[in-house]
């Protein structure tokens, strides 16, 4: 092999080699500067360094099959496209601390609504990522002799691609040795990028997308048997004291945008961040070990989880990729008990494909942006301010036939967390992160809006005949701001702490049970909300395909799984292949977490099978349907 490579005439492909080298080095520099990829050994560093080569050499090497006058043009255009893919990943990573997937790229209907969020993520330094493309174009135009690309023989082409294949095999071999069963860990995108590279990861993602499309076509009802057996074996009976306590009452759900639990009962420069929510704990069932379980779909994922008690997908948003599937969601279930259902959200109806998905979930009404009076004066950031939103939503709620199941989705506490001076009640934090600094005033604004809303419900007459559920939808501050978060919390943000920061508030407020209010510390997640709410209404769920447990159930396990495969138990946190003792936050013997690993993997896998195969079309809630 080495002898063959030596025989390859390099003088005819210096432009190709230069372009490949520039892209390779640029990609590695981006890895180190823009992505927080955790390197634990010299071998991992070597794999990270070499993993871009095979893809870049193959794609740019296609130029060797083209006519001489088209070769350089192809390389320059290809370099620009590859650079744009890298650039898009950088921008996406800055906010979501994650890498783009194919389903996310197809969410183009969301782009027009991102507005200030994207501009906030851009930096003038980003333009330097395209410097090599400009340099290559300049070289091509001036035809420098040392930047040659000429016709090569079939033999040379064969040698070139044989060498690249060898590099790819070595890369994959080293990666598999470092991380066995690497390509089965599709939920761990950082692990994939670290070992096979950003570009090969995207190729692999295309393969997965094609596979998921075929999965539905070949699915049948037999695939549900094992899942149904698992679900029934893990069913927890409802608490008799709580079952049916809200029968016939309205359910008013409020999705609190980007609200994490670390702000509850905390101050910024002696200013209480959430005074209303702090007080509301004493009147509600408050869950202080409640975790969001969203993936790339963020708010839409939280909606999906709470309505279905299924996990979101590891790639893309279910609302987009499987919006026409058959589901057994809360709105459809409660309709059989005389309930009407509605979503209230002052945003475009097509954002996150909601206009399609809400029909699949069984909602009767969607009050979108067309149902609100939105002006420049009453808007900020992503749209209608929360106080205005709640004020106008009250009239919509009063128009609904009772009993109803209604979900309100807030907007103001959304990245980039900007607020006008007239709405700012507390000062910003002074840290290295502008994002975290601005987070506290927007959280306070939402807190004030929620207080106003609860008071308005009381005066409207809806309060006494309703249960009110307030929950955080997903994180607001990503791991990219760990340094500033550590400054605020006065402790370093370890992987263990990062998982703990995924806790979001959950309040279940039942007016006539205010005197029985208490803090419930059991480990739980958004997956548990569907059985909990249905049991409060006196609706049995033992025949439902779901993965959550009633939060009030006496035997509810202290266990919840995050979309990235991390899980939390009463005593342990498992993340990044490491087991942590919950009491100390220190690493623990991994065998202590092993009893829960199979359960975590099974639930994510079973839920994925249901979604990808659209398996609920074969189930009517009690028996299989022959299709």
Owner of token pair 């991380």: 179
| Rg of the chain over all Cα atoms, to the nearest angstrom | 27
How far apart CA 529 and CA 56 sit, in angstroms, is 46
3-state secondary structure of 286: strand
Q: Which two tokens stand for residue 472?
A: 């955080």
Render the burial of 514-552: b for 16+ CB within 10 Å, e for the rest: eeebeebebbbbbbbbbbbbbbbbebebebbbbbbbbbb
Q: How far apart are CA 478 and CA 35, in angstroms?
A: 13
From 83, 294, 299, 569, active-site residue? 299
Tokens 């990270």, located at residue: 48
569 vs 590: CA distance, rounded Å: 13
Q: List phi, psi (to 5°) of 2.
A: -60, -40
Buried b (16+ CB within 10 A) or exposed e, 271-281: ebbbbbbeebb
DSSP secondary structure of 64-119: GGS-HHHHHHHHHHHHHHHHHHHHHHHHHHHHHSS---HHHHT-GGGHHHHTHHHH
Distance CA(356)–CA(350), nearest Å, equals 8
Beta strands in 289-409 (DSSP E): 290-291, 340-344, 365-367, 379-380, 383-384, 404-409
294 is catalytic: no
In angstroms, the CA 276 to CA 546 distance is 33
* 115's tokens: 């507005």
List active site positions.
299
């Amino acid at each position: 092999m080495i002898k063959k490579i030596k025989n390859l005439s390099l003088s005819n492909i210096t432009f190709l080699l230069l372009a490949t080298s520039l892209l390779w080095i640029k990609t590695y520099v981006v890895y180190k500067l823009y992505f927080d990829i955790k390197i634990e050994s010299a071998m991992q560093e070597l794999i990270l360094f070499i993993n871009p080569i095979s893809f870049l050499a193959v794609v740019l090497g296609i130029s060797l099959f083209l006519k001489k006058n088209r070769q350089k043009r192809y390389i320059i255009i290809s370099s620009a496209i590859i650079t744009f893919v890298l650039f898009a990943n950088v921008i996406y990573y800055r906010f979501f601390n994650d890498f783009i997937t194919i389903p996310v790229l197809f969410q183009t209907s969301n782009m027009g609504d991102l507005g200030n969020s994207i501009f906030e993520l851009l930096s003038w330094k980003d333009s330097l990522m395209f410097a090599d493309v400009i340099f290559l174009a300049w070289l091509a135009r001036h035809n420098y002799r040392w930047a040659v690309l000429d016709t090569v023989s079939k033999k040379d082409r064969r040698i070139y691609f044989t060498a690249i294949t060898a590099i790819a095999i070595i890369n994959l071999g080293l990666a598999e040795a470092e991380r066995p069963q690497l390509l089965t860990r599709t939920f761990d995108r950082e692990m994939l990028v670290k070992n096979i590279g950003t570009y090969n990861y995207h190729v692999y993602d295309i393969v997965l997308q094609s596979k998921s499309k075929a999965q539905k076509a070949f699915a049948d009802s037999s695939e549900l048997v094992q899942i149904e057996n698992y679900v029934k074996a893990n069913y927890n009976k409802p608490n008799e004291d709580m079952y049916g306590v809200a029968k016939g009452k309205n359910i008013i759900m409020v999705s609190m945008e980007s609200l994490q639990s670390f702000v509850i009962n905390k101050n910024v420069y002696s200013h209480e961040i959430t005074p209303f929510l702090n007080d509301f704990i004493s009147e509600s069932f408050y869950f202080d070990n409640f975790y969001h379980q969203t993936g790339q779909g963020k708010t839409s994922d939280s909606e999906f989880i709470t309505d279905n008690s299924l996990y979101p997908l590891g790639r893309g948003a279910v609302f987009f990729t499987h919006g026409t599937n058959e589901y057994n969601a809360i709105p459809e279930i409660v309709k059989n008990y005389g309930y009407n259902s509605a979503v209230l959200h002052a945003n475009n109806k097509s954002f996150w494909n909601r206009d399609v998905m809400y029909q699949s979930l069984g909602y009767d009404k969607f009050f979108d942006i067309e149902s609100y009076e939105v002006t420049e004066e009453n808007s900020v950031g992503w749209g209608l301010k929360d106080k205005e939103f709640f004020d106008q939503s009250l009239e919509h709620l009063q128009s609904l036939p009772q009993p109803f199941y209604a979900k309100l989705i807030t907007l103001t506490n959304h990245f980039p967390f900007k607020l006008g001076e007239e709405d700012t009640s507390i000062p910003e934090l002074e840290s290295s992160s502008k994002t975290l600094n601005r987070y506290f005033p927007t959280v306070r604004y939402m807190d004030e809006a929620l207080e106003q809303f609860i008071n308005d419900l009381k005066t409207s007459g809806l309060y006494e005949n309703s249960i009110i559920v307030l929950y955080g939808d997903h994180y607001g501050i990503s791991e990219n701001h760990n340094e500033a978060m550590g400054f605020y919390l006065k402790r370093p943000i370890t992987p263990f702490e990062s998982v703990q920061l995924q806790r979001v508030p959950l309040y279940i407020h039942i007016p006539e049970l205010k005197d029985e209010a208490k803090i419930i510390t059991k480990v739980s997640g958004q997956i548990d909300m569907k059985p909990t709410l249905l049991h409060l209404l006196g609706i049995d769920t033992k025949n439902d395909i779901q993965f959550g447990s009633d939060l009030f159930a006496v035997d509810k396990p202290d266990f919840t799984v995050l979309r990235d495969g991390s899980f939390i138990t009463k005593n342990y946190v498992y993340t990044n292949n490491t087991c942590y003792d919950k009491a100390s936050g220190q690493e623990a013997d991994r065998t202590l977490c092993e009893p829960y690993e199979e359960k975590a993997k099974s639930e994510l896998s079973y839920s994925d099978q249901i979604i990808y195969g659209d398996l609920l079309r074969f189930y009517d809630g009690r028996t299989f349907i022959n299709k």
